Amino acid sequence: MPAARARSQHGPPGRAGAAPCEVRLIPAGDVHRLLDTVAEVAEGVFTRPPWSEPRTEARAVAARLATDALRPGFLAVAALHGDQVCGFAYAVPCSRLALLASRLPRGDLTLKELAVLPAARGWGLGAMLHDRLLAAAPPASWWLLTHPRAGAALGLYRHRGWRVAACHPAPHGRSRLIMLREACSPSRAAGERGHAGRV
């Protein structure tokens, strides 16, 4: 599959002598090849706190990814260790979160998901996925929805220029933060993540 690549300095933990992970931009037409492994990553990440989603709900991320891949402007990246997906992120043009935050839509992008398997954390893959995805997009304002207790994700986003724009209330402990990253130049985006925030 054609892909733009970036390499981390380390492979996932517990894989002595393994080749580094590659972060690849995934063409929409190739997304179907990754759906099974995306579902496995989603189950491994989203069933854990703070998300604590049921297994079927977590694995449904793959079905949403398949549907969103058909939309114009779709972008996806994956962190691959050989044939294993260690993490992924994707985005679509969407202004729903802007409207929820009482902002005027301006050709916005939404970071729908960003997830890294727990066993592959600590090597900067979440940051690499984030940066590669944003660098592939035209300048725009970005939005995401994340859990208020997703500490690692919040740290990543704040370090890369995101800020909390609103709280999206929901019952049963499912309230989420709406975060915004204002439009900036492609060079700034390159230097600097739905349910994004699961890193």
Could you please report the per-residue DSSP string of 98-125?
HHHTT----S-EEEEEEEE-GGGTTSSH
How far apart CA 106 and CA 60 sit, in angstroms, is 29
- pLDDT tens for each residue of 34-88: 999 999 999 999 999 999 999 999 999 999 999 999 999 999 999 998 878 999 9
How far apart CA 44 and CA 23 sit, in angstroms, is 19
Rounded (5°) CA angle 197-172-62: 40
Instruction: Determine the structural domain holding residue 52 and report its residue range.
Output: 5-191
Q: What is the pLDDT of residue 195?
A: 59
How far apart CA 166 and CA 195 sit, in angstroms, is 15
H-type alpha helices, the chain: 35-46, 55-68, 96-100, 125-135, 151-159, 186-191
If one counts every other C-beta atom within 10 angstroms of the C-beta of residue 61, the result is 26
CATH code: domain of residue 171: 3.40.630.30
Note whether residue 182 is domain-resident: yes
Note whether residue 198 is domain-resident: no
Residues of the chain with pLDDT under 50: 1-10, 13-19, 185-193
How far apart CA 110 and CA 136 sit, in angstroms, is 14
Count of domains in the chain?
1
How far apart CA 93 and CA 104 sit, in angstroms, is 14
pTM of the model: 0.84
Torsion of CA 118, 124, 127, 128, to 10 degrees: -110
Q: What is the pLDDT of residue 63?
A: 98
Phi, psi at 189, each rounded to 5°: -60, -40
130's CB contacts (< 8 A; 6+ apart) are: 89, 111, 114, 156, 157, 160, 192, 193
Note whether residue 129 is domain-resident: yes
DSSP assignment letter at 199: -
Q: What is the pLDDT of residue 123?
A: 86
How far apart CA 38 and CA 28 sit, in angstroms, is 14
SS3 call for 21: coil
Note whether residue 46 is domain-resident: yes
Note whether residue 197 is domain-resident: no
